[in-house]
Structure 1
C-alpha cells in the first residue's frame, strides 16, 4: 500500500512541479542561445530572458516548498483527511509517503537548478570538466558523508514542519496560528538541544586523547551530526504519527 501512496503522491505533485522544471530548463536554453547568437550582455532580449529565468527559478523553489506543506495539510488535516484515513493504511505510511516524495522533489529542484545554471553558463569542454570533477567528488568518503548528512537534515526539516502542523491541529480554533507557534517552540527546543549537544561534543574532543588527528575529529563530528539529525527526525516523526493516530482533530 505504501507503494500506491507514493505513486499517487508523485502524480498529484508532479502535475504542478514538472511544468516548472521544464520551463526553467527551456528558458535556460533560450538564454544560452541568445548568448551564443552574439547578443551582448545587456541587450534587451538577454536581460528579459535572464529576468524570466531568475523569476522561474525562485518560483520553482517557493512552489516546491508550498506544495510540500499543502499536500500534508490538505490531504491529511482538512476535509480530505476523512477520506484518506478511511483507507486501510497506517498513519505512518501517509507520513512516509509524503516525506519521501517531498524530499525527492526538493532534490530534483536543486538538480534542475544546477543543470540550468550549467546550461546558461555553458562553455566548450564544460561538461567534460564537470564529469571529471563529479567523479573525483564521488570517490571521497567526506563527500558521501556530506550527501548523507544533507539528506538526513532535509528529512528532519520536513518532519519538523509536519510535526508543527500536526500540533497546530490539536486546537479547535486558529489552527494555522497554532502551527506557527508549534514550529517556533519545536525549532527553539531543537536549537537548545543542538547547542547542548555541540558543547558536550567539544568537551569530549578537548578532554580526550583519542582524537589527536584532525581527520579523526572531522569524521567523528560528521558522524555525530548525522546521528543527532536522525534522532531529531525520529522525534518529529513520532510526534506527528502519535497525533495522526491518536489525537486527530479534523473539525
Structure 2
C-alpha cells in the first residue's frame, strides 16, 4: 500500500512541476543561443527572465507540495484518504519523501538556471574559475561539499515546519480560524520560536567549529561556545580566527525528527476534517 501511495503522490505532483522545469530549460537554451549569436539585447532579456523563472521553480514546487498535502488530507479528499486501510502517518511518510525529492531537484534546477542567467549577464566562466581558485587557495575546497547536506537539512527543516503547521491547523481547537489563515499563522509562530531557540543554542552550547583564517583556512571542532569569542572580539575589526556554533544545527536536526513525529501523532489521533 505504501508503494501505491508513492505512485499516486508522484503522479499527482508531476502534473505541474515538470512543466516549470521545461520552461526553465527552454529559457536557458534561449539565453545560451542568444549569447552564441551575439544578440545583446535578447541575451540580457532572456537571462533576466531565466533568473526569474529559476526562482519561480522553487516557489512553485513549494506551493504545489503544500497544496497537495492540504487538499489530499484535509479537504474533501481527506474523507477518502483517511479511510484507506493504513496508518494515517504513512501518508506523511510518502508525501515527505516524494516532496523532498521534488524540492531537492528544484533547488538544483534553480541554481543551474541562476548560473546560466548570470553567465548571460556577463559573469563568464573565467570569473567562476577565479572564484574557485581563490577558494582552493585558502584551503576551502574540501569544505564546499558541506553545502550539500546543509541544503538537504534546510529542505527537511522547512518541510517539517510546513507539515506540522498545516496538520495542527486542522485539529479541532483551530476550527474557528480558517485553515489557510491558521496554517500561515502557526507556521510563522513555529518558525520564529525555533529561530530564537536555535540562535540561543548556537551561541551558548559548547560545540563549535574553530576557524583559523590567518593564511590558509583551517577548521577544527572545539568544545568552546561563541560567547567567549564574541566578548573577546567585540571591538576587533580584523580577527584572525572565528568560532561558529554548531548547537543550532544540532537543534535543527533534532527538531526535524520531533516535528515529523508530532505531525504523525496528530494525524493518527487528533485531526478533524472541516
- For the aligned pair, the TM-score class normalised by the smaller chain equals 0.7 to 0.9
**Which position in structure 1 is the counterpart of 2:189?**
185
Matched, 1:216 2:221: yes
Is the CA contact (8 Å cut-off) linking 1:28 and 1:117 kept in structure 2?
Answer: no
Counterpart Cα distance in 2 of 1:65 and 1:58: 11
- Write the distance in 2 (CA, Å) between the matches of 1:240 and 1:51: 40
Alpha-carbon deviation of 1:77? 0.9
Deviations 1:29-49 (A, max 9, x none): 111111111222xx2x33442
Deviation of residue 103 (structure 1)? 1.6
SS at match of 1:215: strand
- Structure-2 change in CA distance of 1:75 and 1:66 (3 Å): same
Partner of 2:110: 113
Alpha carbons of structure 1 residues 191 and 115: separation in structure 2 relative to 1, 3 Å: closer
CA RMSD of aligned residues (A): 3.3
Note if contact 1:91-1:245 (Cα within 8 Å) is conserved in structure 2. Answer: yes
Tell me if structure 2 keeps the 8 A contact 1:27–1:49.
yes
Counterpart Cα distance in 2 of 1:55 and 1:185: 29
Q: Are 1:82 and 2:83 an aligned pair?
A: no
CA deviations 1:88-134 (Å, max 9, x no partner) are 222222112211222211211121123334545289988xx7xx99x
Q: CA deviation at 1:84?
A: 0.9
In structure 2, the partner of 1:230 is: 253
Change (3 A) 1:74 1:224: same
2:59 matched residue in structure 1: 62
Once the two structures are overlaid, the 10-residue window that deviates more, 85-94 or 154-163, is: 85-94
C-alpha contact 1:159 1:233 (8 A) present in aligned 2:
yes
Q: Which residue of 1 aligns with 2:154?
A: 153
Q: Which has the higher helix share?
A: 1
Matches within 5 A, 1:1-251: 1-40=1-40, 43=41, 45-120=42-117, 121=119, 140=142, 142-170=143-171, 171-173=174-176, 174-202=178-206, 214-217=219-222, 224-251=247-274
Structure ranking higher in strand proportion: 2
Distance change >3 Å, CA 124–CA 246, structure 1 → 2: closer
Deviation at residue 238 of structure 1 after TM alignment? 2.1
Does 186-195 or 101-110 show the bigger shift?
A: 186-195
TM-score normalized by the length of structure 1: 0.79
Preserved contact between residue 167 and residue 243 of structure 1 (Cα < 8 Å):
yes
Unaligned runs of 5+ residues in structure 1 are 206-212
Which structure has more relative contact order (CA 8 Å, sep 6+)? It is 1
Cα deviation for residue 169 of structure 1 reads 1.2
DSSP 3-state at the match of 1:22: helix
